[in-house]
């Protein structure tokens, strides 16, 4: 049984997208290795806050029916650069029970272990669903501080895995990760929320995400806000040079509770659309590293949609924040041109079926980003199928499989696997040309 301190997977689990035939041996191997990671390694693998992706990788390929050997190989390939957890401070764990003291430790990476032990105890006492509603979704100052940190972007991915696979220990990791994460998006996310209310934004007249992407790309000030030299192109670019413009567009996206199913599908479709179509011929097809995270995160909103412990109001708020994050992420990489022709004209040398695409992803040696993207795309096809005739759904039919072939072809073609900042010419300088362009 999975607990706040023990990871336990079952072959019979049914996450949002999985491949039939997961074996007990794969469940056992994944459980044991995830437990070792939980006890042995920090959530960040270096002092710069780079994230340990072992949980994401192993749970993804487990769901994609990886063999025990593939799961073990995925783990072994990513342990050499991990670091051990920092020592536990019992006094800090005790302090965290005081809301005023709790605030003083937020954002301090050295307190990760303390937060994790604190949240494990809270989960054991109250249940993980109640802990999430109290510490993240309650809507008070403490919860909004956590929601701000958890929503951008790795903490919510980690939390999503914990919720989807019903693993309280991974949820405790996610909460601790969020508690020590950078917090700088509140002016955007809370600002957009407040602006939407004051402007009387109406869900019935909300533009589609694709329409908002077009509007933002046409805004010269917003397009110029992030610059190649910026270390953090949202914090140091958009929020410094065009914060009002970004809030203005983000605030236009509002939904109602009775739209949750369709709008979840639209969010997935739009994230895939701009991630797949932001290409740069004659360079090889490559997917932007940052856009890819918006797609990888999208599958968990299927979990949140189906979660009985979340109120409709919480689900609505979460989805609005996700879309506002996605809109901001699009602008942050230079608002690149988007064209469906990059998908519709694509010719894969392998043209793999979905089964073969998934097998290719399970075999690939990386840190899990590719397999996560493939699983999110497979989920997107399933979720969006019933909405393909609606406005704002540009990715449809066999495009999902074509995009997945594009992904696998791009990472199997050699390094770099991803482009970082696809709307900037500088990002493509080290990306090789396509074979056809050199003939």
Are 368 and 290 in a shared domain? Answer: yes
Are 88 and 223 in a shared domain? Answer: no
Are 294 and 331 in a shared domain? Answer: yes
How many domains are contained in the chain?
2
Instruction: Say whether pTM exceeds 0.75.
Output: yes
The two structure tokens encoding residue 160:
């999503």
CB-based contact 8:32 (threshold 8 Å): no
CB-based contact 323:267 (threshold 8 Å): yes
Q: How many separate helices (H) and strands (E) can be counted in the chain?
A: 23, 2
Are 134 and 210 in a shared domain? Answer: no
Are 384 and 328 in a shared domain? Answer: yes
Q: What angle do CA 71, 380, 276 make, to 5 degrees?
A: 90
Q: Distance between CA 128 and CA 201 in Å, rounded?
A: 34
CB-based contact 288:422 (threshold 8 Å): yes
Are 173 and 215 in a shared domain? Answer: no
The two structure tokens encoding residue 46:
């270096």
Are 153 and 295 in a shared domain? Answer: no
Structural domain ending residue among the three candidates 145, 161, 182:
182
Q: Is the peptide bond before 376 cis (omega within 30 degrees of 0)?
A: no
Q: Which domain holds residue 277?
A: 187-438
Are 164 and 203 in a shared domain? Answer: no
Q: Where are the alpha helices (DSSP H) in 251-368?
A: 260-277, 289-306, 312-332, 341-344, 354-363
Q: In a structure prediction context, what are the per-residue pLDDT tens digits for the chain, which is 439 residues long?
A: 999 999 999 999 999 999 999 999 999 999 999 999 999 999 988 777 788 999 999 999 999 999 999 999 999 999 999 999 889 999 999 999 999 999 999 999 899 999 999 999 999 999 999 999 999 999 999 999 999 988 678 899 999 999 999 999 999 999 999 999 888 899 999 999 999 999 999 999 999 999 999 999 999 999 999 999 999 999 999 999 999 999 999 999 999 999 999 999 999 999 999 999 999 999 999 999 999 999 999 999 999 999 999 999 999 999 999 999 999 999 999 999 999 999 999 999 999 999 999 999 999 999 999 999 999 999 999 999 999 999 999 999 999 999 999 999 999 998 899 999 999 999 999 999 987 644 3
Are 260 and 369 in a shared domain? Answer: yes
């Amino acid at each position: 049984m999975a607990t706040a301190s023990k990871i336990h997977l079952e072959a019979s689990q049914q996450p949002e997208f999985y491949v039939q035939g997961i074996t007990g041996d794969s469940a056992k191997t994944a459980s044991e290795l995830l437990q070792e990671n939980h006890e042995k390694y920090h959530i960040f693998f270096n002092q710069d806050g780079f994230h340990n992706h072992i949980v994401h990788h192993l749970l993804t390929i487990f769901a994609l029916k990886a063999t025990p050997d593939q799961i073990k190989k995925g783990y072994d390939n990513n342990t050499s650069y991990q670091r051990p957890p920092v020592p536990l401070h019992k006094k800090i764990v005790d302090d965290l029970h005081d809301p005023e003291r709790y605030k003083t430790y937020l954002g301090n990476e050295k307190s990760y272990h303390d937060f994790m032990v604190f949240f494990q105890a809270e989960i054991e006492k109250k249940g993980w669903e109640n802990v999430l509603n109290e510490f993240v979704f309650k809507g008070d100052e403490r919860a909004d501080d956590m929601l701000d940190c958890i929503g951008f972007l790795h903490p919510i991915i980690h939390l999503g895995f914990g919720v989807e696979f019903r693993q309280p220990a991974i949820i405790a990791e996610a909460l601790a990760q969020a508690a020590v994460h950078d917090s700088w998006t509140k002016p955007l996310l809370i600002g957009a929320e407040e602006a939407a209310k004051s402007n009387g934004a109406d869900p019935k007249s909300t533009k589609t995400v694709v329409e908002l992407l077009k509007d933002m790309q046409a805004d010269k000030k917003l397009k110029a806000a992030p610059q190649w030299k910026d270390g953090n192109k949202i914090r140091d670019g958009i929020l410094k040079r065009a914060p009002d413009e970004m809030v203005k567009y983000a605030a236009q996206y509002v939904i109602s509770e009775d739209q949750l199913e369709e709008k979840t599908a639209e969010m997935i479709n739009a994230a895939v659309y701009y991630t797949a179509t932001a290409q740069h011929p004659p360079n090889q097809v490559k997917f932007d590293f940052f856009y890819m995270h918006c797609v990888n995160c999208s599958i968990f909103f299927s979990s949140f949609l189906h979660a009985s412990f979340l109120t409709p109001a919480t689900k609505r708020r979460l989805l609005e924040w996700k879309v506002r994050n996605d809109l901001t992420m699009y602008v942050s990489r230079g608002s690149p041109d988007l064209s469906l022709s990059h998908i519709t004209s694509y010719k894969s040398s392998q043209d793999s079926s979905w089964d073969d695409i998934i097998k290719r992803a399970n075999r690939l040696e990386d840190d899990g980003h590719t397999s996560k993207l493939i699983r999110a795309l497979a989920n997107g096809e399933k979720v969006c199928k019933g909405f393909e005739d609606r406005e704002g759904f540009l990715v449809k039919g066999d495009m999902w499989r074509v995009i997945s072939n594009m992904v696998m072809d791009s990472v199997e073609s050699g390094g770099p696997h991803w482009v970082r900042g696809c709307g900037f010419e500088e990002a493509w300088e080290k990306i090789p040309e396509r074979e056809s362009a050199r003939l």
